[in-house]
Structures are given as structure tokens and as C-alpha cells.
Structure 1
Amino acid sequence: MAYAGPPQQSWPVRPPFQRKVREVGAPLGVLILLGIIAGLIVIALTALNPVGASIGFVLSGLAIAVVVLAYIWLDRWEPEPTRLLVFAFLWGASVAVVMSVIIGLFLDALIAAEGSEESSWISIAVGAPIIEEAAKGAFLLLMMTGRRRNELNSLTDCLVYAGLVGAGFAWLEDILYIAGGESLGDSLLTAAIRLIMGPFAHSLFTTMFGIGVWFALQNRNAIAKAGCILLGYVGAVIMHGLWNGSSVIGPETYFAVYFFWMVPVFVFAIVLGVRSRRREQRIVAEKLPGMVAARLVTPSEATWLNSIRNRKLAIGHVTRTAGKPAGKAVKAFAAQVVALAFVRDRIDRGFGDERVYAMQTEEAYAVHAARMAAPALQALAGFHAPPVR
């Protein structure tokens, strides 16, 4: 049954594509290749400095694990495909790093040819940000193409992908810097500075690019799209340049930039992420009445599908009474309802084309399939979650 929406509205539904539109993920071979590249880089660093690389691998892994978990938490409402999340991290830890190193070496050679004392500062504060943010941002541009575009349903999605690309880049870069220490003390000092003060730094820089991509997706005009992406890229480069440049000038400038610029922007990014996730919740709540009218969702189910808290209560209730497999099936049903709501929202905002209407039909059928696979939903017939405040 196609999602028809409230009776008072006429929402056209097109025939579904022959292949599933929603299922998007990076090919397994690509993930393996990127993982091998990242692994070879770590192995090479270990061969050059076993102690430093080992310290970097452990400490950077722990710090970046916190960053990754933070983005997974942010992504709870409409979880992205696991393979794409892994793809984002591995892109940052392999493609972006390799691109940055190759282009950076070429640029450093050109700058060093001048022989001035300012060449080193220019390379760190200008050259590195321009190259690295372009290499990381290339993943988000890739996400805007083909079926991957269907996964960028909200600002939260853009923030999550940008953050994970930055996390992957930071993970390998931190290992590289820590392994470059001439002694154990140097490695530990570098680890303390980089991992205590800046584990979220690269993710924060690329967040600016992610915001630009999100605004680009809200425009139909090609020039406006390019302008939004360019502004996001420039914002990422400026933030990165201030961070790198302050570390070269001196500790006073470095700490001033950290506390009076980086920390406020970081707080802003947190607020932006939380507000974006709340907006996702509002979108789903607004589309539930239409799903109830189309008999895709029952009135009882609508009471617990409208918030993360209520959804957790319902899934927990099923898990306790019918077991973990039943709870996972209900969770999959809830995720499918959310996916349909975002497709419907895209149409309501005027971005509906033949492909999006086909997605709507596919997602509606997928909701039916998820319901058939979750007989434990019947156990929630009398379950009424508390109202959302």
C-alpha cells in the first residue's frame, strides 16, 4: 500500500523502481581496500618507530572512539547505513590522508623554494587547511551523487558524515604525529596536546563543510548550490587555519584560540546537532497522522513512534515480554517508519521528483514488510507511551 497521507490532500504515488531505492551502502570491496590502505600506513609508521606508533595507535584509538560514539549517539533517530558510516571513517583515514600527504609534499616543495622564514607558517596555516579540508569534503560531495543523496535527509545526517570523516582523518594523523616523536617523552607530550585538547578538531572543521552541503541541498539553483558548498569549505579552511596558525605562533595564542574560538564553536556545533535531531523528531510526528490515515501505522503505534524516549520504552517492553529478536524486529519497523516520514517531508518541501515518488512507494511497501516481520507489534496494541513534552 502506498503512503497516501491525510484524506484532505492529494499526494500522487508513482510506480516503484524495479530495484530497491533505499538500500544504499559502500561496496564491501571498497571498504576492504580503504581499510588495507589505512592498515599499511599504520604498519609503515610502526616499522619506523614501534614505540611511538604503538602509543599513538592505542591513545588515538581511545580518543577517537569517544568521538565516533558521540556521532553514533547523534544518529540514533534515523540511523544511517552502517557501511556508509564505515566508509566515511575509512575515507578520512585513508583517501583523505593520502591525498593530503601527496598534494602537501608538492606544495611544501614549492613554498620551500622561496627560502623565507614565513614559508613554514604558510604551509601549516594556509596550505594544509586548504588541502586537508578539500580531501575530507570530497566525501560529502560524493554523498551528494547517485542514490547516496537519498541518505542526506537532514542536517543531522550531514553532521554525522562530516564528523566521521574528520574522526577517521584525526585518528591516523594523530598516530602519525605521535609516532614522529624523537623520544618517548616527545610522543607522550604530543599525545597529550593533540588528544586532550583537540580530539574533535578535525570533525569540527569538516562540520562547516557539512553545513554548507546541507544548505546546498535545500536549493534548486546550481549557482546557489555551489555557493553554499564554497562557503562551507571556506569556513572549514578558516577554522583549520586559525587552529594550525595559532600553534605555530606560540602557546599563548594557541590557548587563546582554543578557549575563545574553538570551544564556543564546538558548543555551537553541539547545540546545532541536538536541535537538528529534535527537528527530525518533529518531522516524524507531523507525518504520523498521514500514515495513520493510510493505515500504515495504527493510532496506538503513533503514540510511541513520535519520540526516541517513547520508542525506547516500546522496544524495551517488547524485548522484556517477547525476547530480543522481537525487540529488534520492532526497532526495524520503527526505523522504516522514520525513513518513510523523511521521504514524505522531502515531497512536502517541494523536492519531489519521479525518483522521490518512487522512493515513497518503496518505503511504504517496506513498512508493510517490516510489520509482517514484527508480529510482536500486536503485543503493543494496548501500549500507550506518555505524551511528548
Structure 2
Amino acid sequence: MTHSFPRPAPQPPVPAYRSDPAFDAVPERARHRYRPRRLWRSRVVRLGTVSTLLALCGLVILALVREQTGTEGFLVGLGLAMLPVPLLLGAFRWLDRVDPGPWRNLIFAFSWGACAAALVAIIANTFAHRWIATATADPSAADTLGATVIAPVVEESAKAAGVLLLFLFRRRDFGGIVDGVVVAGFTATGFAFTENILYLGNAFGEDQEIGTSGFASVTAATFFVRIVMSPFAHPLFTVLTGIGCGIAALTARRKRVRRAVLPLLGLVLAMGVHALWNGSAALGPWGFYAVYGAFMVPAFGLLTWLAIWTRQRELRTISGELPAYAAAGWISPAEPLALSSMRARGLARSYAARSFGSPAARAVGEYESFATSLAFLRHRARRGAADPDFAAREQELLYHLWQRKEVAGPALTYAARATGRVWTPPPHRDYAGYNPYRS
């Protein structure tokens, strides 16, 4: 009986190294694309249009929230709602340290959630609530149905639109699960920020009417539930959409149905979890705590583990893919192991800063980013998910590595030695042909 095993994916050939490479496939406009970023080098028309639209949405949402909460309530809600934002954004940015995405994408994601998605949600939810209340002549039923059915669909769709825009129009910056988690997390954090202003501002206004204050106030209870217990709720929902987009980005281009279905599946799961969370209040006085303890906390822990595991997998991808370029002579043998360690990366930047100043440290940081993108590009090519311009993109990244090699190479070699990540063969053994990166 014979067994057939799947053939391993073909290794993409590495461009031959020369002492004076020509980089013929790199267009002139791309030769300066990754120099230190300046606003005036970006696409001014697109940036201006998107910024104007988001600013208009922000002004409208500001007016709507202030109208509902009053000026004093708005200021109180704003101050309290800001407390978890740095913590959440910092956690997502930490997760993105291996291959950090451009800040412009993250600023867009947060702004979309806080302005555009929140505006759509307020308008759509208000309209749906009034329609259901009129059709059923039962305001309490409208509240329950709106919270458990309408709100999850509207809010998750509005947030997902921002994630999908980046997935479709910033594909180079959307390479996997971590990118999807980070973009979705920033979008949902922005949305939760605006929503918390509304809830906390209304709670403060209610306290002002009935004269309560302190720990027994509605504001304190709302703050405890939304800011202390569940600041991760909205990010948890929308991250499911981001994971779907991230897996789709890793899927081979020939599997078009799967690439289209995965983001939709993530969106449906986000809606379902959101509906379960909102509907927990209808399960009785202890329903919220039961759902929180039995589902939300374990789900949050599982997704946190998945995100951290995926980040470690990205580091392993770097150590597994870059040796091909080291063997060809594009980078030094020590660099793949140094680049696959966050500690070694930091040491390399510090070494460059001490030796040559901050411009050198910035060049090393850019080198690390380009090398990481190169490893992910090759990894996607081996999985059959590379874009048609793979060769040009590979040469473009090699060009930018070449521009910074003189400074970054010694810094990364120093960092590899300082962290003990330089492989040396033990004596009395023949290691000819052995590749330490594949061990």
C-alpha cells in the first residue's frame, strides 16, 4: 500500500546578490516611499477628503451627544470615557510591534469608530427603536429587541466597514491576523469611547435630576460596568471581524470564495457575541454576571492568547524566511536571529543611537520594518497568497534594506551577539550544510 503525501510549497527564488545591484523593477516613485514619513509626501487629495468627512461626522456626533447629555454631562462623560482609551490602544500597539502598521491607518481606524461608526449607530438605532415602538405599541419590547437584535447588527456593521476599507485599500499593511486584530481593536476602542461618553453623560444627568451622588449614584454604577468591568467588550466583538479579514489576507489568491466568506463569517460571529452580551440583561438580575463570567472572560482570555501566540509566530516566520536572503548575501548571517527577537531589535536601535545618533537609530528601525515585511512577503508567496507584483515588491524592499545596510548591519550583528543569538557550532562535529535557522 502506497501513501501519497502533499508536496511542500515551492520556495520562491531569491534574487541574485551583486555588489552593485540595479533594482530595475523598483519604480522611481517607490525609491523614496519609505524615507522618513512626511505629511506632504502622502496623497493629499485622499487624505484631505477622508479627514474632512471624518471631521464632519465628529462634529455631528459631538452635537448629538451634547444635546442628549447637556454640556456638564458631556464633559463628565468625556473625562471618564477617556480613562481606558490609552490602556487599550497601548495594548493593541504593543501587539503590533513586530511589524508595526502605519500610524495613519490606526488613526483612521480610531476616528472611523469614534465618529463615522458611532454616528451611523446613533441614527440607525434611534430610527429602529422608534419604528419598533410604533409598530408594537410596546416601548419595553422595543428596548429589548433593539438592544439584542438591531444594535449588534448596526454597530458591528458600522465598525466592520472601517476594517474592510483598510483591508481592501491598504492590503500591503494588512498581512495577517495581528494586523486584523489591531485595526479592529483601534476601531472598536474609538466606537466605545464615543458610546461611553453618551452613557456616562446620561447617567450623570440622571443623578442630577434625582439628587444622588457617590458610590450609590447611577454614574458610579455605569462607570463600574462599562469602564472597570468591560472596557474590552466592543474590541472583543469587532476583533472577530478583524481575525476573519486577517485569515483572508493569508489565504491563497486562487481561493476566492474563502477569501470573501471569512470576513463575513467574522462579522456574523461579532454580531452574535454582541447580541449575547446585550441580551444578558434580559436573563434576570444575575444574567449579566453569568454571561460575563461564563463567556466574556474566557473569550477575552482565548483571544488574548491567540493574539500573543500569533505575534510569536510572526517572529518565528522572520527567523524561518530571512535565512534565504542571508544565504544569498543580501543580509548578514546574524540578522535573521536578531530580527526575530524584540529585545535584540531594541538593542540594535540603542547601539546605533549611541554610536551615530538618532538618525541612525531611525534607519535601523526602518531596516527592521522592511526586513520584517520581506519575511512576511516571502511567507505569503510560499502559501500561494502573494500579490501579482511579488517580484517588484520584493526588489523594492531589498532596495530599502540596501540603502540602510551600512548602518543597520553592524547594529543588528552587535545585538545578536549581545543577546546570545549568534549560532556557533560545537567543536569536534561536522556541521557542513547545516542550517541553524531551520532547527
Who is 1:42 aligned against?
62
Who is 1:289 aligned against?
323
Cα distance between partner residues in 1 of 2:84 and 2:386: 41
Who is 1:238 aligned against?
272
Task: Return the TM-score normalized by structure 1.
Answer: 0.89
Who is 2:179 aligned against?
157
- The counterpart of 2:218, out of the listed 169, 186, 193, is 186
Deviation by residue 1:195-252 (Cα, 9 ceiling, x = unmatched): 0111111110001111222233315333323332222111101110111111344440
Cα distance between partner residues in 2 of 1:223 and 1:167: 30
Q: Kindly indicate whether structure 1 or structure 2 has the higher relative contact order, using CA contacts under 8 Å at least 6 residues apart.
A: 1
The answer on 1:315 being equivalent to 2:349 is: yes
Cα distance between partner residues in 2 of 1:164 and 1:6: 37
Q: Give the letter for the 1:158 counterpart.
A: G
CA contact (8 A) 1:4 1:294 kept: no
Q: Give the letter for the 1:178 counterpart.
A: L
Q: 1:153 to 1:368 in 2, by over 3 A?
A: same
Cα distance between partner residues in 2 of 1:199 and 1:71: 13
- The counterpart of 1:333, out of the listed 342, 351, 367, is 367
Who is 1:81 aligned against?
102
Who is 1:92 aligned against?
113
Cα distance between partner residues in 2 of 1:44 and 1:118: 25
The within-5 A match list for 1:195-206 is 195-206=227-238
Aligned residues: 379
Q: Give the letter for the 2:51 counterpart.
A: L
Q: 1:20 to 1:250 in 2, by over 3 A?
A: farther
Secondary structure at 2:334's aligned position in 1? Answer: helix
Percent of matched pairs sharing the same residue: 34
Secondary structure at 1:354's aligned position in 2? Answer: coil
- The counterpart of 1:212, out of the listed 238, 241, 244, is 244
Cα distance between partner residues in 2 of 1:247 and 1:341: 47
- The counterpart of 1:16, out of the listed 18, 26, 34, is 26
Who is 2:137 aligned against?
115
Who is 2:427 aligned against?
none
Secondary structure at 1:65's aligned position in 2? Answer: helix
CA contact (8 A) 2:180 2:246 kept: yes
CA contact (8 A) 1:71 1:164 kept: yes
Cα distance between partner residues in 1 of 2:372 and 2:200: 43
CA contact (8 A) 2:80 2:200 kept: no
Who is 1:5 aligned against?
14
Secondary structure at 2:112's aligned position in 1? Answer: helix
Shift of 1:4: 5.4
The answer on 1:299 being equivalent to 2:313 is: no
Shift of 1:350: 1.1
Q: Give the letter for the 2:186 counterpart.
A: L
Bigger Cα Rg: 2
Shift of 1:172: 0.4
Cα distance between partner residues in 1 of 2:414 and 2:147: 62
* Structure 1, gaps ≥5 residues long: 8-12
Who is 1:177 aligned against?
199
Shift of 1:284: 0.9
Deviation by residue 1:42-100 (Cα, 9 ceiling, x = unmatched): 35534642232222211211112111110011011000000000000001011111111
Q: 1:28 to 1:329 in 2, by over 3 A?
A: farther
Cα distance between partner residues in 2 of 1:123 and 1:382: 60
Who is 1:57 aligned against?
78
Q: 1:240 to 1:249 in 2, by over 3 A?
A: same
Who is 1:10 aligned against?
none
Who is 1:31 aligned against?
51
CA contact (8 A) 1:89 1:167 kept: yes
CA contact (8 A) 2:281 2:287 kept: yes
Cα distance between partner residues in 2 of 1:32 and 1:49: 26
Cα distance between partner residues in 1 of 2:227 and 2:75: 15
The within-5 A match list for 1:336-375 is 336-371=370-405, 375=407
